[in-house]
Amino acid sequence: MQIFETLAKYDYEQVVLCQDHTSGLKAIIAIHDTTLGPALGGCRMWTYVSEEAAITDALRLSRGMTYKAAAAGLNLGGGKTVVIGNPKTDKSEALFRALGRYIEGLHGRYITAEDVGTTVSDMDLIHQETRYVTGVSQAYGSSGDPSPVTALGVFRGLQASVREVYGTDDLAGKTVAVQGLGHVGYDLCRQLHEVGAKLIVTDISEAVVKRAVEEFGAAAVAPQDIVAAECDVFAPCALGAVISDDTIPLLRCRIVAGSANNQLAEERHGDTLHEMGILYAPDYVINAGGLINVADELEGYNADRAQKKVEGIYDIMRKIFAMSREFRIPTYQAADRMAEARIAAIKQVRSTFLPVSRSLLHRQ
Ligand code: NAD
């Protein structure tokens, strides 16, 4: 890997390699962009096949966080930590505290959080060494499980999508096919049921499907059949790469809007949806509720304030759809453009309006 060439390609600011022999810590902290504020992004622990794969993942994920925070209107930049190791066997107090020391050493340029392979207790260990950590346990001022808040954001994004296509955000009588009834998907179903939407559901767990059928009067289909279900909205809430060459020809919906990360197998699949007249709610915008919620911890968590901000996903989504219409571009591109424009505008403000004390210093 040509590291500086790689960093220059998407203008990454910093990569920190963290090594602690005693605890076995091998981690990468990638900071993509701090124009809007400190880089916030989760700490992933995974058994990577190579160090290069770990660095690549940290870089890719940190850049994604820059866009997610910018589009959500947060004053945060994008960062991510990747710990190389098996989350089942390689965790220890010393390892997370060593990582905490590294994060503390960045003096707030990077703030960490839970991610795949890490838990609230791991965040509590990091918290022993630094305050630049969110997603800690309730005793330290946590915002709690982000999933219901994520589900609320998805619900609001779904309303905005329905309004774009049908001219009203009333979901009563609309059919929504939900793939995955986990923490987010199940709560989304509850909210949709409450406003009178019809549900088609699936999950690989039969028990949870049975529950949704009984509680929400949902129609159940086999996991392999959900993509082809005839519906108004297809809501992927399980896996990534659900929109691909294989699935696009099967779709019988007007809208794709769900919580799953990385729904488009490749960006070009977003172009295809656009050409087919299927409205796509960009995943990193519609599922930003969890991030907005956790970011609120930085100001002393207030559930009402966080919820209001999450409700704002409705307006953000409307703006993206309007841009997509105006510039005749796919919605995923409109979302990226909106995020980039916000970063560029704030960069400009910061370079123009230099505080007096600093400008005096520069003259000396
Ligand atoms: P989860 O693990 O609680 O739920 C996922 C569900 O999908 C499980 O019930 C699982 O059985 C089911 N599933 C797995 N494979 C399936 C398949 N092939 N067909 C049908 N169902 C299948 O996860 P979650 O927290 O609900 O998150 C769902 C998605 O949303 C993930 O992609 C996640 O990355 C994304 N997301 C979640 C949050 C959050 O706050 N939890 C925030 C942003 C994004």
Q: Which amino acid belongs to residue 68? A: K
DSSP secondary-structure letter at 204? S
Residue 140 binned pLDDT confidence (cut-offs 50, 70, 90): confident
pLDDT at 355: 67
Q: Residue 350: pLDDT band by 50, 70, 90 thresholds? A: confident
If you average pLDDT over residues 346-361, what whole number do you get? 73
Is 237 a pocket residue for ligand 1 (Cβ < 6 Å)?
yes
pLDDT, tens digit, 9 for 90 and up, residues 56-93: 999 999 999 999 999 999 999 999 999 999 999 999 99
**Which residue's alpha carbon is at the smallest distance from atom 32 of ligand 1?**
260
In order of 24, 104, 166, 232, the CA distances from 171 in angstroms are 52, 47, 10, 10
Q: Residue 347 catalytic?
A: no
Q: What is the pLDDT of residue 356?
A: 64
Among 68, 80, 91, 309, the one annotated catalytic: 80
Indicate if the pLDDT at residue 233 is higher than 60: yes
What whole-number distance in Å separates Cα of residue 256 and Cα of residue 331? 11
Is the C-alpha dihedral spanning 10, 32, 118, 98 positive or negative?
A: positive
Confidence of residue 183 (pLDDT cuts 50, 70, 90): very high
Domains of the chain (ranges, CATH numbers)? 3-64+76-140 (3.40.50.10860), 147-337 (3.40.50.720)
- DSSP-derived letter for residue 78 is E
Q: What residue spans of 10-109 are helical by DSSP H?
A: 51-71, 93-105
CB 183 less than 6 A from any atom of ligand 1: yes
Q: Whose CA is nearest to atom 25 of ligand 1?
A: 183
Q: Mean per-residue pLDDT for 170-196? A: 97
Determine the pLDDT at residue 139. Answer: 82
* Cα–Cα separations (whole angstroms), residue 207 to 28, 189, 203, 216: 39, 15, 9, 14
What average pLDDT does the structure give for the chain? 95
- Percentage of the chain exceeding pLDDT 90: 90
